[in-house]
Chain A
């Protein structure tokens, strides 16, 4: 039993953290809210240069062939930065799907460019019509009627929807299932997309942990800076206890996510139970930290002038995405009861 990340995994995390601190500052997230995504694009390209976007792609496609476990810390950092864009779809789900089920032509057209940061993918699971970032992606991988499709985005109709998190750029997608875009028929599509769902839930859970950390950092800083009654509000026990509770929620959520990543990377028995547990805990923690951070900020936190709201709204959206708590609790219930 050894429950810690390797030095290499931590080094990659530090690299991503530095890149995003520099290139995905809150102003960049705010610009994405207003539809200006140049900054986010630039950050995406820098991440591609560091190899993060191609992490899960094979050597042949210019990637590093890394596992779900390796992905966690970089994705956590994208949550910390509230980086907008389909990074979980592209890196955790899309690239592995094309590696496993893409035709030679599809692999050639999409894989290396994706690893190089030139192509952004979104994924639409069976029954999932609303897809974030579809309009600005290059290709959509979709599961329809038990078959898999890899559709260039200009063949997809994307009707805009509006998320409470404006940086999520939602669209309702539809397309004609054209055999031209079908992926390899001999692969077990159902199984493959089931695995994709687990990866999407896991990657989202990692981002939720990062969102929690950032919101707590903001609230702690605010509690140290803001003075009332002649001293920082953080000197008051009422504030201390809220923030201590937030830290406990967050710190107990983290190992569940790391454990689930390890289970997936090693194809451990009952890995899906671990993923469900991680998704529930990471979502609960992020929503809880958001609420406490808002209360600690007081009225300023209740405005869109304060950065907190962008993290909070992302947390609400992601806690429900790829299976909300009720969905995942039901999966666990079937396993243990």
Chain B
């Protein structure tokens, strides 16, 4: 056991820090979940990519710098420490790309990865359907074999930022004779093609962060299938474990939130109830604990161990921690917590209420925490499924 960072890890941190401090835009960008804000965020993504920071752990040929997992965590700590913009490319870089690396053909990787990481082509997810949420395997969208490809038909929903994106990925039933998780195929498909209608949906905070996607006999060539035909469930599960586990929520962002919470507490401490002090300490501790738990996990991954259902514990912990931390911030702000972004007197420009509403999504998306707890109970503790 050695819990010091190595000299080269420290050098990597210095390099991240100096580039970020010199280049991160001063002042917050408008929300990346609005049309205007999304465009501004993409400009930032171009800068990140051109300097080699968009996807540090990727191979160099795709624009990465072949960083280790610990270096990636260090990059994330520095990224959130300086308050850099949220990553509107994340559904591509952190969720589709790991699946592409595992299941994609060379042609797909060469064609897709660099434009994805630069934000030239943007990606949304298309998993859920109106009647297939937690029970994803009950999905109804279909793909019909035609000359040279497939025709997609159906409806997808809760697609993050799909109202602004170019492409999406999701599961479609290719074998109507098979039920549930058999006979599904993983497709990537264009959102601006003929037969596609995208309708934005306002999220809890009022931003158009969600969309519904209607597909009416949309042609997709064979080259847009990821993995084997009818093997989509296996391919998709690789994405969900990235989403629940490390790649979506590195400790850096929660450490940064805890630091901002302490700053908020100091500004309000004269009129804070004593109990708030305990809560702030607890929030700081939770972020620390999540960091050390993650370091332990990453060490195991470095030793070649599979993480598997442990990612469900990770997801439950960070999502519930994030809600608690924002609740504490709102308790500190007290009776003016309702002042929203755009309100002249809002504390920290309303960022805590905004963050609170965003945090509330955590226990729901990427597999609800109820589903995660089932996974933990059945696959880690070995309790009977039925």
Contacts and interface: CB of A to CB of B under 8 A. Distances in A.
- Is B truly associated with A? yes
A241 B288 CA distance: 25
29 contacts: A1-B3, A1-B70, A2-B299, A2-B302, A3-B292, A3-B295, A5-B1, A223-B383, A224-B383, A232-B383, A239-B383, A240-B373, A240-B374, A241-B373, A244-B373, A247-B313, A247-B381, A251-B313, A252-B317, A255-B295, A258-B296, A262-B1, A262-B3, A268-B3, A277-B288, A280-B285, A333-B277, A337-B262, A337-B266
A329 B274 CA distance: 13
Contacts of B267: none
Contact of B377 (A69, A240, A263): A240
A231 B289 CA distance: 37
Nearest to A334: B281
A259 interface: yes
- Minimum-distance CB pairs A-B, first 6: A240-B377, A244-B376, A244-B373, A234-B383, A255-B292, A3-B299
Given A235-B383, A332-B284, 10 more contacts: A220-B381, A224-B383, A237-B370, A239-B383, A244-B316, A244-B374, A247-B380, A248-B376, A253-B289, A277-B289
B102 interface: no
A4 B277 CA distance: 33
Among B1, B295, B298, B317, find the residue whose CB has the most chain A CB atoms closer than 10 A: B1
A336 interface: yes
A151 interface: no
B382 A220 contact: yes
Contacts of A259: 3, 292
Contacts of B1: 2-6, 69, 258, 262
Nearest to B310: A251
Contact of B281 (A4, A234, A263, A329): A329
Given A252-B317, A262-B1, A333-B281, A240 B383 contact: yes
Among A224, A245, A253, A259, find the residue whose CB has the most chain B CB atoms closer than 10 A: A259
Among B6, B284, B381, find the residue whose CB has the most chain A CB atoms closer than 10 A: B381
Given A1-B70, A255-B295, A333-B281, A235 B385 contact: yes
Given A251-B293, A277-B289, A336-B284, A2 B2 contact: yes
A89 B290 CA distance: 31
Given A3-B292, A3-B299, A255-B293, A241 B370 contact: yes
A207 B278 CA distance: 25
A237 B374 contact: yes
Nearest to A281: B289
B247 to A, nearest CB: 18
Contacts of B284: 332, 336
Contacts of B386: 231, 235
Contacts of A251: 293, 313
B87 to A, nearest CB: 23
Contacts of A1: 2-6, 9, 70, 295, 298-299
Interface in B287-335: 288-290, 292-293, 295-296, 298-300, 302-303, 313, 316-317
A247 B306 CA distance: 19
A337 B303 contact: no
Contacts of B302: 2
Interface in A1-49: 1-6
Contacts of B313: 247-248, 251-252
B11 to A, nearest CB: 14
B344 interface: no
B378 interface: yes
A57 interface: no
Among B299, B303, B377, find the residue whose CB has the most chain A CB atoms closer than 10 A: B377
Interface in A215-241: 220, 223-224, 231-232, 234-235, 237, 239-241
A256 interface: yes
Given A3-B296, A240-B374, A248 B317 contact: yes
A243 interface: yes
B265 interface: yes
A3 B73 CA distance: 14
Interface string A135-172: 00000000000000000000000000000000000000
Contacts of B303: 4
Contacts of A268: 3
B81 to A, nearest CB: 16
Contacts of B285: 277, 280-281, 332
A222 to B, nearest CB: 11
A234 B376 CA distance: 12
Among B282, B302, B383, find the residue whose CB has the most chain A CB atoms closer than 10 A: B383
Contacts of B372: 244
Given A1-B4, A241-B370, A281-B285, A224 B376 contact: no
Contacts of A69: 1
B280 interface: yes
Interface string A247-279: 110011111101100110000100000000100
A252 B377 contact: no
Nearest to B380: A247
A248 to B, nearest CB: 5
Contacts of B373: 237, 240-241, 244-245
A244 B381 CA distance: 8
A259 B295 CA distance: 10
Interface in B187-207: none
Nearest to A69: B1
Contacts of B378: 240
Among A243, A248, A263, A281, find the residue whose CB has the most chain B CB atoms closer than 10 A: A248
Nearest to B312: A244
Contacts of B3: 1-3, 259, 262-263, 268
B122 to A, nearest CB: 33
